[in-house]
Every structure is written in C-alpha cells, then in structure tokens.
Amino acid sequence: MTDILNAIWLGIVEGLTEFLPVSSTAHLLVTENLLGLNKDQWEAFTVVIQLGAVLSVVAVYWRKIWEIVSGLGRDAKANRFALNVIVAFLPSAILGVLVIKIINNVLLDPVRAMPVIATTWILGGFLILIFERIAPAPRYTDADTLPLSKAFQIGLCQCLSLIPGVSRSGATILGAELLGVERKAAAAFTFYLALPTMLGASVFELYKKHAALTSANMELIAIGFVVSFIVAYVVVRTFIGFIGRYGLKPFGWYRVAAGLALIAAMFLGRV
C-alpha cells in the first residue's frame, strides 16, 4: 500500500511540475529524498511516468499535431513548423548525449543534487523576476511561424534545463520572451518542443534501464503513468491562460521560497 501511495504522489508531482517553470526533475528528486525512496528502484518508474505527461500534450493538441503530420511534404506551413521544432530540439539532444554520464553521476545523484537544486531554484526565481521586468516588447506573436533563427535560439536556451532545478519550460519560455516572442506564443512553442524532447529523453533512458521494467513494478508504473497524464492534462489546458494573466512572477517567488525551504531542510538534516 505504501508503494502505491508513493507512486500516486510521484505521479502528481511529475504531472504538476513538468510544464511549469519550476523543474520536474528537481521536484521528483526532492520528493524521492523526502519519501526515503531508493533511487535505483524507482529510476525506471520516473522515466515512464514522464511519458504520461508527454501524452497529455498529444491529447490537448491532437488536432494541431494531426494537421502538421498530415500536411508534411505538402503544406509549406506544416513543413516550416516541423522544421522549427526539429531545429529547436537538436541543441539539447546533442548536448544531452555528450554529457549524460556527468548529469547522471553528479548532478542527478540524490545527495549531491540537493545543493544544486536549492541554488538553481533560488537563482532561477530571481532571474524570472528580473527578466519579466526587462523583457522587450514582443515582436513575434504566433508560435507556428517563428523565424528559424528564433527557434534555434530557443533550443539553445533549453540546454540550460540539463541542470537540475533550471526547468525546461522556464528556460524556453523566459528565453523566448527575451528574444521578443510573446509570452503565450512562447508557452505554446514550449509545449510543441516538449514532444520530441521528452519523448527522446524518455526512450533513451528506458533503453538503458529496460532491465528494471519487471512485472513486479508494472502496477506501480501504470498507476504513476495515469496519474501523471491526468494532472499534466489539466496543467497543459490551463497554463497558457494563467501566464497570460499573471505572467511568470508567481513561479519566480515560488522558486525562491522552495529553494530556501530546501536549504533549511538540508540544514536540519531532513534531506
């Protein structure tokens, strides 16, 4: 029963934080630490439940995705959109493959990661608060027709998310804003970019950890997958409207508070 509750809790954390600018990887690591879970036993689980979050994007934007896929090779707009997503995806994909061992052995170590996460949460929070003030007036308001150069630059911003606590969506949305992309358009492009990025990372990690997928833990994985999908679906449906109204500042303040709370927990020996 305890493992089922842990699976539900991790599914909620993944689904809630994957598309918010707060870093799902950091939240999962902190949650596993607080719950006293063995990272090796739950590694395959956390990889698979990310696919639940990916599927939520497909469920929300299935019409858009179908239009693009069915129009490839025939429709210029579909071709341009697909090229933008591919170009934005490549920088983090290439860099991720090159530094994956360092990330897994150092930055994703349950103990070593805590100071890194606390630092990036706080610094990232302050950067959000500062950059939201100085972001230039938007010049690009349509996520479907961004210039190829802007898509590539957003992809470079996504590389920062390889550091736990930075947040993939936070890096891409904030980076896009600084590049002159309107906030809602930046968030929409971030969702589209999440599909190849998260799918590629999950498949790559599952290939390495397929031995951990046993019949004994498939029930827990199924529970976490479903919970992650449901929660992420709600987030994806509401996030663009939320930031259109309130911006990213609430998440900036949250990151600062979470980082300070994590420092306090480390000082008290709770993590």
For the ranges 93-107, 135-149, 152-166, 225-239, the lowest mean pLDDT is seen at 93-107
The count of residues in the chain is 271
Q: Percentage of the chain with pLDDT > 90?
A: 76
Mean pLDDT of 160-186: 94
- What confidence score (pLDDT) does residue 207 get? 77
For residues 125 and 84, the answer to whether their CB atoms sit within 8 Å is: no
For residues 172 and 146, the answer to whether their CB atoms sit within 8 Å is: no
Residue 262 has pLDDT above 70, yes or no: yes
Q: 128 pLDDT band (50/70/90 cuts)?
A: very high
For residues 49 and 228, the answer to whether their CB atoms sit within 8 Å is: yes
The domain tally of the chain equals 1
Residue 200 has pLDDT above 70, yes or no: yes
Query: What is the tens place of the pLDDT at every residue in 15-25?
Result: 999 999 999 99
Residue 106 has pLDDT above 70, yes or no: no
For the ranges 44-58, 86-100, 201-215, 241-255, the lowest mean pLDDT is seen at 201-215
For residues 128 and 249, the answer to whether their CB atoms sit within 8 Å is: yes
Q: Please give the residue range of the domain that contains residue 163.
A: 2-267
If residue 206 lies in a helix (H) or strand (E), which one and from where to where? helix 183-209
pTM of the model: 0.92
Mean pLDDT of 69-96: 94
Residue 117 has pLDDT above 90, yes or no: yes
CA distance 137 to 177: 9
Residue 107 has pLDDT above 90, yes or no: no
Going from the C-alpha of 226 to that of each of 56, 67, 218, 231, the distances in angstroms are 10, 26, 12, 9
Residue 139 has pLDDT above 80, yes or no: yes
Mean pLDDT of 145-164: 94
CA distance 30 to 142: 36
DSSP string, 132-182: HHHPPPPSB--GGG--HHHHHHHHHHHGGGGSTTS-HHHHHHHHHHHTTB-
Residue 205 has pLDDT above 90, yes or no: no
> 183-209 and 39-60 are packed helices; what angle lies between their axes, rounded to 10 degrees?
140
Residue 63 has pLDDT above 90, yes or no: yes
CA distance 98 to 101: 8
Q: 215 pLDDT band (50/70/90 cuts)?
A: low
- What confidence score (pLDDT) does residue 208 get? 75
- What confidence score (pLDDT) does residue 57 get? 94
Q: Which residue has the higher pLDDT, 110 or 168?
A: 168
Q: 216 pLDDT band (50/70/90 cuts)?
A: low
Quote the DSSP letter at residue 60.
H
